[in-house]
Structures are given as structure tokens and as C-alpha cells.
Amino acid sequence: MTEPRTSTPDYTLGFSEEMLESLRRYTAEANAGYLLPYLRPGLRVLDFGCGPGTISSGLAKAVAPGEVHGVDMEASQIDLARSVVELRGQDNATFHVGDVMDLPFEDGYFDVAHCHNLLMHVPDTAAVLAEVRRVLKPGGILGCREMISASSFTHPDFGVIRNAWDMFEDLVSADDGHPQIGKDLKRHLVEAGFTNVRATASFDIYSSPADVAFIYRLAQKWFLAPEITEAAIKYGASTRELCDAISDAYNRWREHPGAVCGVAYGEAVAGRP
Amino acid sequence: MHRDLMEILVCPVTKELLELVVEEEAGDEVLRGHLYSKAIDFRYPIEDGIPNLLPPEMQAADAAEGSDAGA
């Protein structure tokens, strides 16, 4: 068996293996399925916090010839996003380096606004929702899908992997983020003046050998990377012994025939009056 | 960046329309230049066809971070 190696630069069509994996996994169908029934050709969509644009690209396909505008504060993500739509021959998606708290669009321009795993990282939920509301037309809709970390699981847990999720939550919270915001979307949307809030929930389930390898690599990168564990130890969110135990548990989990991981998400679609 | 975008892009701070200054273009695509916000006297750069519309204080922070990383 050959180990997947993401640390080695291995480019296909200019994309790293990791990016190609994101292209396959983070699609509009998989991550914005709750919103797709509301999309139709000709609508203008804002994808705020678009990252590498893999979901934006799917949204652009759903509304073509309507426009999709993706905004992200990281120029490197915007470069990737532009390559994704270029590769797929899409000409109705445009990407901008910008801040979701201060969007560079005129009032009432968009029919639909979308975000995925964005509100969990933005400290001031009310402010970002007010700004998104500003750029939506009256009658426009907002769709968001955000993690519920406490309802997510790695199984078997070996009595210790839950601690990795706790560490993740502590670090997100330390940056004034909201790791459980997926279950609080309805309240936030109502408070921001949106109406007809339809809340749903779903899991991303990882179970195939490729899925398990993917989660294992994510764990290495997020929970077990030296800079993360050092930070967690420094802020008292973990100890060296605990990090070693989590690392051992993930090695056992990867080899376990019953290995599954579920990431819980809250979703909501709401109207802008 | 396509010239048509001028109709919808605004200054993220003042929400007022921007003035386009082109330094390099190909057809209707602006490859290099800037978007000028008169009210706050700030130039939002367009590089490699991508406008950077982060608010001025965030652009300053990015530049500082970039120079640290490069050191």
C-alpha cells in the first residue's frame, strides 16, 4: 500500500494534490445542497468567505448565465478560485480580495448570498449579517452552513480523540470564533432581521478508505501540527502527554475497520425582507 | 478585472463608487492599476487582474505580515 503524501509538492494542472482533493470534496452539491433548490439561471450570487472557490464554481454552474462573486480576504485563495473556474471554462464567476465585514458592493445588488464555515470564524456575527443584508435585494435570500463541533465525532474515539475536537474548539474560541454556531443560525438570522428562516442540519460522513485517509491527514495538519499543538499547550488547552495520546489514537483509528468520522453542520435559508 | 465591474464595485469603507485608473489592460480586462476612493484618498490596487478591496487598515496589516514572512 502506498501512503498518500500531501507534504510532497505534487502538481497536476498546476494544483497540489490537496487542492485536487478539495475540488472533489468541497462541491456545491455536497456542501450547499440545502441551497441549490433555491437557485435558478440568471440569479446573482455572493459567496462570502469563498476560500478556493470550489463551492462558488458549483453555484456559478447553477445560476449561469447569472453572476457569482466570491470574496475572501486571502489573496492566495482568490488566485486558486480563479484557477478553478478557468479550468472548468466558467466565465460567470468573479473573485475579489475583500473583507466580509466591509463588502465592496453597492446596496441591494445580489439575489442570493452564501457562506460555508465562515460565520464560525468571524467574531461579530451581527455585523457580518448586517453587511450581507445590505448587499442583498429586498426579497433576496441568504444560505449558510456552519459547523456544530460538539455534535461532530470520530469513532472509535479510543477515549481520547474527543479531546482533539475540544482543542480545536478552544483555539477557534480563542480567536473569538464560534465553533458551535451551526446550531444557533436561526437565532442569529432572526436577530439580523431575516425572515422565513428554514433551519436544517446534516453530517459530512467520512467512511471509505480514501475518506479515512483524508481525515487522518486533516488531523495531522490541524490537530497534530507542531504549531497547533504548541499553541494549544501554551494556552492551556492541551498538554504534551495529551497531544501524544491523541496522535497514537489517530494512528489506531486509521487502521480500525470501523473507522468513521462525522462532521455536524447546521444549515439555514432565510429571506431578506 | 472586467471594466463592467466598475458599475457595482464600491469603496468598502464609504460605499461610494470608485475611480478606475488603468496601467495595463487586455481588451476589457484591467490587469494592473488601481481603484481610487476620493473620499478617503486611497488607492485599492489591481494586480494580475485581481482588485484588492480590503479596507486600508487591513491592507497595511497584510503588508506588514508579508514583510515579516519574507524576512
Tell me whether residue A18 is exposed, middle or buried, using C-beta atoms within 10 angstroms of its C-beta: 0 to 12, 13 to 18, 19 or more: middle
Residues A128-160 have pLDDT tens digits of 999 999 999 999 999 999 999 999 999 999 999
Greater confidence (B23 vs A218) lies with B23
Q: Under an 8 A CB cutoff, do A75 and B52 touch? A: yes
Chain-centre distance of CA A43, in angstroms?
23
Contact B53 A79 (CB under 8 A): no
Q: Do B12 and A107 touch (CB under 8 A)?
A: no
- Nearest residue in chain B measured CA to CA from A69: B5
The pLDDT confidence band at residue B71, using thresholds 50, 70 and 90, is very low
* Confidence band for B61, pLDDT divided at 50, 70 and 90: confident
- Confidence bin at A8 (pLDDT 50/70/90): very low
Strand-pair category, A93-97 with A153-155: unpaired
Phi, psi of A163 (to 5 degrees): -60, -30
Write the CA distances from A241 to A54, A85, A167, A244, B60, integer angstroms. 38, 45, 14, 5, 40
Task: Please judge whether A106 and B52 are an interchain contact, meaning their C-beta atoms are less than 8 angstroms apart.
Answer: no
- A105 close to B (CB below 8 A): yes
pLDDT value for B65: 62
d(C-alpha A151, C-alpha B3), whole Å? 46
Task: State the average pLDDT over residues B66-70.
Answer: 45
The rounded distance, in Å, linking the Cα atoms of A190 and A235 is 35
Q: How confident is the model at residue B66, as a pLDDT?
A: 53
Mean pLDDT of chain B: 88
Which residues in chain B are closer than 8 Å to A106, comparing Cβ atoms? 8-10, 15, 17
- A73 in contact with chain B, both atoms CB, cutoff 8 A: yes
Query: How far, in Å, CA of A163 to CA of A156, rounded?
Result: 13
Q: What is the pLDDT of residue A14?
A: 60
Average pLDDT, integer, range A161-187? 93
Whole-number pLDDT of residue A19:
75
What pLDDT score was predicted for residue A171? 85
d(Cα B38, Cα A114) in Å, to the nearest integer? 31
- Is the backbone of residue A156 left (phi > 0), alpha (psi -120 to 50) or beta? beta
Q: Which chain A positions have a beta carbon within 8 Å of B2's beta carbon? A: 94
Q: Look at residue B67 and tell me whether its pLDDT is greater than 60.
A: no
Out of B17, B48, B53, name the one closest to residue A98 (CB). Answer: B53
Residue A6 has pLDDT above 50, yes or no: no
Please state the domain extents for chain B. 3-70
Q: How far apart are CA A29 and CA B61, in angstroms?
A: 36
- In tens, the pLDDT along A89-135 reads 999 999 999 999 999 999 999 999 999 999 999 999 999 999 999 99
Mutate to test the interface with A, among B4, B6, B7, B10 (most CBs of A within 10 A): B10
Give which of B46, B52, B51 is closest to B24, Cα–Cα. B46
What pLDDT score does A231 carry? 82
Interface test with B, best of A48, A73, A96 (most B CBs within 10 A): A96
Give the pLDDT score at A226: 86
Whether residue B15 lies within 8 A of chain A, CB to CB, comes out as yes
Say what the pLDDT of residue B17 is. 94
Q: CA of A183: how far to CAs of A146, A194, A202, B44, in Å? A: 8, 17, 11, 37
In whole numbers, what is the pLDDT of chain A averaged over residues?
A: 92
B42-47 and B50-51 as β-strands: parallel, antiparallel, unpaired? Answer: antiparallel
| Residue bearing the bigger pLDDT, B21 or A8 | B21
What mean pLDDT do residues A28-38 have? Answer: 97
In this predicted structure, the answer to whether residue A5 has a pLDDT above a threshold of 60 is no
Question: pLDDT tens for residues A37-78?
Answer: 999 999 999 999 999 999 999 999 999 999 999 999 999 999
Helix, coil or strand: residue B59: helix
Mutate which: A77, A79, A99, A227, vs B, most B CBs within 10 A? A99
Report the residue from A75, A95, A99 with minimal CB separation from B55: A99
